[in-house]
């Protein structure tokens, strides 16, 4: 039996209509935020438009308050749609909340993205110095500072136009200014400046040019010339007396060489003899002694008498030392061809220390440490050089005027000497040794006159020159100037004349 449909009452139709009317509102709420707070102000649902560029309202009739809520919801809860096209979608930047977040301070120096618009940083200059050690070369030292091989090579090549790097000596300092940084394409270390002291009077420098190369030049040093002196007494030796008062070695060797023509240091000097020395010295800008000049004056008490010598340059340009009467201190031969030696055996008959019998000793012996320099007693020509029996290493020199000298038991000879070579007075010809028949290191020295041995300590040799006439008058003026400088110094100890040598026409 087929059931009969139930009749729906009018009240039921009314209830169904009410439900259908409420459905759109319920759907509206589904597309909202879903929170209780949003229920009071429901927002219309949104979806991406066909062009995928902006959200499209489903309900065009939404109120102004509803639009504001929609915009906020769209930013905070974007719809899970496709990613916008990069080529067409505009960039969306979130605007900061200025009320809650303080503004950040922009960096003061920010590198632009475009390198072509960047300003290159200034290169950093590092100043340093290197010290030459044995075996070093300038090229090696420069490369050790970080310079490239090419940079170092170009700098050395330019330096060679004014100074030979082969002249560098151990202990010598080289001052450098090095560049680092700058433009991004120049990252390696570069040389800005190189400076070294060529000698006491001159510096040489290599500097980078604006074109990127190098230029070398000599630079004269500014030195102040002074006159210094000492007054002391001899206690042990002439050399020790000078060293104790600070006289430079160079000055003392010059003094000993000049007095060696007239003084027998072993026999003539006595303890307590007075010594006075006046010499030049040159100071740099810091007050340090850059170099010492020549000996200007010396006075030595010899057997109770004063023996004074003055430096003077005659018209012929040959500078020498002269006695107050104009006579040159230089003699044909030096009395002592060695410095700092002790007379160990004199001229005459003696018992031979090795053979044991008495025989004539035809020279004098000077005991000295091995390697002590031996000087030529006078200028002349070498007649014999080499081994000579019991004399060991031996040199014989012909000085002319019938005089010859001989030097024996030497350890070795100076370089470049050979038979027939010319030597000057005071030139180093060899070194103290113990060759041949010898009991210890010493120099055996002989003087022969017309082929016969004579006592070197008893010779009265002629002087080299005596000043006369106008030359002697000019010498007297030079003497007076030196004496004036001496009078302006203290009486004792180390003395310095506080004056510029430009006064009175300059130092002699």
Dump the DSSP string for 22-68.
HHHHHHHHHTS---HHHHSS----EEE-TTSSSEEES-TT--HHHHH
For the chain, what is the radius of gyration of the CA atoms? 51
Give CA–CA dist 457/313, Å, rounded: 30
Give CA–CA dist 283/289, Å, rounded: 5
Longest C-alpha distance within the chain, in Å? 181
Which tokens in the block code for residue 200? 């006491």
**Parts of the chain with a pLDDT under 70:** 1-121, 182-187, 266, 340-341, 344-361, 464, 490-508
Fold match between domain 124-220 and domain 342-458:
no
Q: What is the CATH number of domain 124-220?
A: 3.10.450.350
Output the pLDDT for position 350. 61
Cβ proximity of 254 and 426 under 8 Å: no
Give CA–CA dist 396/385, Å, rounded: 7
Give CA–CA dist 218/220, Å, rounded: 7
Instruction: Please name the residues in contact with 8: beta carbons below 8 A apart, sequence gap of 6 or more.
Output: none
In the three-class reduction of DSSP (H, G, I as helix; E, B as strand; rest coil), residue 309 is classed as strand
Give CA–CA dist 122/340, Å, rounded: 61
Give CA–CA dist 15/285, Å, rounded: 118
- Would you identify the CATH topology of the domain 224-330+488-505? Nuclear Transport Factor 2; Chain: A, (3.10.450)
In the three-class reduction of DSSP (H, G, I as helix; E, B as strand; rest coil), residue 92 is classed as coil
Output the pLDDT for position 1. 46
Output the pLDDT for position 75. 41
First-to-last C-alpha distance (Å) of the chain:
161
Q: Residue 252, Cβ neighbours under 10 Å: how many?
A: 21
Output the pLDDT for position 54. 42
Give CA–CA dist 152/162, Å, rounded: 16
Output the pLDDT for position 226. 87
User: Pick from 163, 154, 159: which is nearest to 213 by CA?
Assistant: 154
Distances (CA, A) of 163 to 142, 151, 172, 196, 213: 16, 18, 14, 10, 18
Beta strands 348-351; 358-361: pairing state:
antiparallel
Please tell me the CATH superfamily of domain 342-458, with its number. Answer: Glucose Permease (Domain IIA) (2.70.70.10)
Domain segments of the chain: what residues? Answer: 10-76, 124-220, 224-330+488-505, 342-458
Give CA–CA dist 323/466, Å, rounded: 9
Residue 326 DSSP symbol? S
Which tokens in the block code for residue 70? 């929609």
């Amino acid at each position: 039996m087929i059931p009969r449909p139930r009749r729906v009452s009018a009240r039921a139709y009314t209830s169904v209509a009410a439900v259908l009317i409420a459905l759109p509102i319920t759907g509206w709420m589904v597309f909202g935020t879903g929170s209780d707070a949003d229920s009071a102000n429901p927002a219309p649902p949104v979806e991406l438009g066909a062009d995928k560029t902006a959200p499209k309202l489903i309900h065009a009739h939404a109120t102004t308050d509803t639009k504001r809520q929609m915009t906020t919801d769209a930013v905070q809860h974007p719809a899970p749609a496709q990613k916008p096209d990069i080529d067409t979608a505009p960039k969306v930047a979130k605007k900061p909340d200025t009320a809650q977040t303080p503004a950040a301070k922009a960096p003061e120096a920010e590198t632009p993205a475009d390198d072509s618009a960047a300003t290159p940083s200034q290169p950093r200059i590092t100043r340093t110095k290197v010290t030459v050690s044995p075996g070093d070369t300038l090229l090696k030292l420069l490369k050790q500072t970080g310079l490239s091989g090419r940079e170092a090579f170009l700098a050395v090549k330019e330096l060679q136009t004014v100074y030979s790097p082969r002249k560098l000596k151990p202990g010598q300092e080289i001052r450098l200014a090095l560049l680092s940084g700058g433009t991004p394409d120049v990252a390696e270390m570069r040389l800005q400046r190189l400076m070294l002291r060529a000698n006491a009077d001159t510096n040489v420098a290599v500097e980078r040019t604006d074109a990127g190369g190098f230029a070398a030049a000599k630079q004269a040093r500014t030195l102040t010339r002074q006159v210094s002196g000492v007054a002391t007494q001899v206690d042990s030796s002439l050399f020790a007396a000078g060293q104790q008062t600070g006289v430079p070695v160079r000055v003392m060797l010059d003094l000993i060489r000049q007095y060696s023509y007239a003084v027998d240091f072993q026999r003539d000097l006595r303890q307590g003899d007075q010594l006075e020395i006046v010499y030049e010295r040159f100071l740099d800008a810091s007050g340090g002694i850059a170099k010492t000049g020549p000996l200007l004056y010396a006075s030595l008490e010899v057997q109770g008498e004063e023996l004074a010598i003055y430096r003077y340059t005659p018209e012929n340009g040959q500078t020498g030392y002269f006695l107050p009467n104009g006579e040159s201190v230089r003699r044909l031969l030096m009395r002592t061809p060695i410095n700092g030696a002790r007379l160990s055996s004199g001229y005459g008959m003696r018992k031979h220390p090795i053979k044991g019998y008495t025989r004539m000793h035809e020279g004098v012996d000077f005991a000295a440490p091995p390697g002590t320099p031996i000087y030529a007693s006078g200028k002349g020509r070498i007649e014999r050089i080499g081994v000579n029996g019991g004399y060991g290493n031996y040199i014989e020199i012909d000085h002319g005027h019938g005089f010859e000298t001989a030097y024996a038991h030497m350890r070795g000879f100076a370089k470049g000497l050979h038979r027939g070579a010319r030597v000057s007075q005071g030139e180093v010809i060899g070194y103290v040794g113990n060759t041949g028949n010898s009991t210890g290191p010493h120099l055996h020295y002989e003087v022969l006159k017309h082929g016969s041995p004579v006592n070197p300590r008893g010779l009265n040799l002629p002087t080299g020159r005596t000043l006369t006439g106008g030359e002697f008058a000019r010498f007297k003026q030079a003497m007076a100037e030196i004496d004036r400088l001496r009078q302006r110094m203290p009486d004792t100890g180390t003395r310095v004349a506080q004056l510029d040598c430009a006064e009175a026409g300059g130092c002699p």
